[in-house]
Chain A
């Protein structure tokens, strides 16, 4: 098994990568052209690690190489000689699809071995300045493979999941009266015009990206005020970047991405949603709306979620996910299941260490869960 790490900004798509993404039915965020667009317009651009066995792609990871939480600069130009001594860390994370892990493997692969090989390759690629790797939003099985002695591990906000019932009526029957009333009111409101389609090329991505970034900033501020879980030592640590219009434009053009927009009769954009319409795992991907103080229409998100559920039922999807925020609101819309997600930190001295979590109990009697956030409980190691 070997791991090839490429910079999507300048390196061509690895041989066999598209087939791997197709075989694993990975969401569009794994497509090389989209990773490339994201990398060029990110503060902390991702590297793509391709795991091969006998030359065949059997897994992949996306790792953001982060320089700072507060940098106001995009990632350094790929053509420059990297500053190998500069302190940096890597986050295996999908910042634009945070309910899913940034690691995917074919079944039957030795995931633990692949992860450790990835870590060794990353150390070689980034250089002595690499402080460690943070595996964020990992599912149970992946987190288990990434865990080990002295690797802090904690449970983070879960992703909302809905297993679509057989019919829309069945789903509606489980909703509260106020939720149904909101959805029906927007359907009947002549001041709200909606249009929907897959693979859309008729939208102004700049307009949508501006709304999405404003919405994210508003949500972040609210989460920060509410004591969000990513808080650490009183610092606001955010390695994400604004969504670029070029990325959004390419995403919306994909045939398996359904985009719904809400506008006033005069054409003013009120909100939009995107949905990944895979038959296996569908995902309610992006949602953004104009705030109420700026003239937004309350309740649009409920309508958008309702339409997404109806679409998932039509498609016959086995599950529909809806991200990690506002779980109570999503539960009211039927997303009553959750998928447990974990964050595992691997400090530099342990990168490549093959020992598993069971070694913790053999070697260190103390509690090594070492919560990354001291004020949170919930370690599962």
Chain B
């Protein structure tokens, strides 16, 4: 791994998240105290399994234990992190309307740039082409000549495009992919329904992790992701996609962490 200041800060943020989770969050306290973990080791003599990382299914089953003792939300936000990755994903500063077409995403993305609005559209509603308010809003926005960005799985984006009137310009689209179904682009976002948006495919052709908000490390169980920015639900060392083997490198072009599965 590279040895830059950025990497050391990234690593320090991860260590703080681990320390905080061990001290305040029941799920990690129980798991790491009783079974152990590595990198960092918190209880000497115990290494646990998969370096202390937990499968996403297990974390989802025990979401109630991911809130800190002091209290907090236990509801995951599948749209978390989207706003910060859009610029790099689309190479445009903003869009008037950002539509997430995904059954798992029920709340619009937050933190979009000024002038942008976010909304969600269930794939069934996109396919039915009925009198759906979100569809009407998309059509109106496109008719005004403003840009619309659709985010979702390829098949859902196709359904949305076919539901729109043919005379309108198509919306911009960025497909998002699960970690076990990464493609070669040219655009794409790395998404997990529990952790939210984790990374982006950049112009170098590599999958970049959102290093300000997400940490990733290699474990024997696969790549383990940590959401650094959100403290409740606290998601630390989660094996997304059932645990996908991979490696973490530094991008030679951008000097930021990239994953290779």
Contact = CB atoms under 8 A, between A and B. Distances in A.
B34 A40 contact: yes
B61 interface: yes
Q: How large is the interface on B (under 10, 10 to 19, 20 to 34, 35 or more residues)?
A: 10 to 19
A122 B4 CA distance: 48
Interface residues of A, number: 19
A73 B69 contact: yes
A246 B34 contact: yes
Interface string A47-79: 000000000000000000000000111100101
A161 to B, nearest CB: 33
Contact of A74 (B24, B34, B44, B65): B24
Contacts of B230: none
Given A40-B33, A41-B33, A242-B69, A72 B24 contact: yes
A206 B61 contact: yes
Contacts of B68: 72
Interface in B1-60: 22-24, 26, 29-30, 33-34, 42-44
A360 B52 CA distance: 56
Nearest to A73: B23
A136 interface: no
B42 A74 contact: no
B69 A41 contact: no
Given A79-B43, A242-B26, A206 B65 contact: yes
A43 B69 contact: yes
A35 B225 CA distance: 33
B74 to A, nearest CB: 10
Nearest to A210: B64
A168 interface: no
A325 interface: no
Contacts of A37: 34
B107 interface: no
Contacts of A158: none
A41 B24 contact: no
B56 to A, nearest CB: 15
A40 B26 contact: no
Contacts of A41: 26, 29-30, 33
A296 interface: no
Contact of B70 (A9, A72, A206, A244): A72
A245 interface: yes
Nearest to B69: A72
A137 B62 CA distance: 33
Nearest to B33: A40
A41 B69 CA distance: 11
B20 to A, nearest CB: 9
Contact of B23 (A74, A79, A241): A74
Given A43-B69, A73-B69, A79-B43, A245 B24 contact: no
10 contacts: A40-B30, A71-B69, A72-B69, A72-B70, A74-B22, A74-B24, A74-B29, A79-B44, A206-B62, A210-B65
Interface of B: 22-24, 26, 29-30, 33-34, 42-44, 61-62, 64-65, 68-71
Query: Ordered nearest first, which 4 A-B pairs have the shortest CB separation?
Result: A72-B70, A40-B33, A72-B69, A210-B64
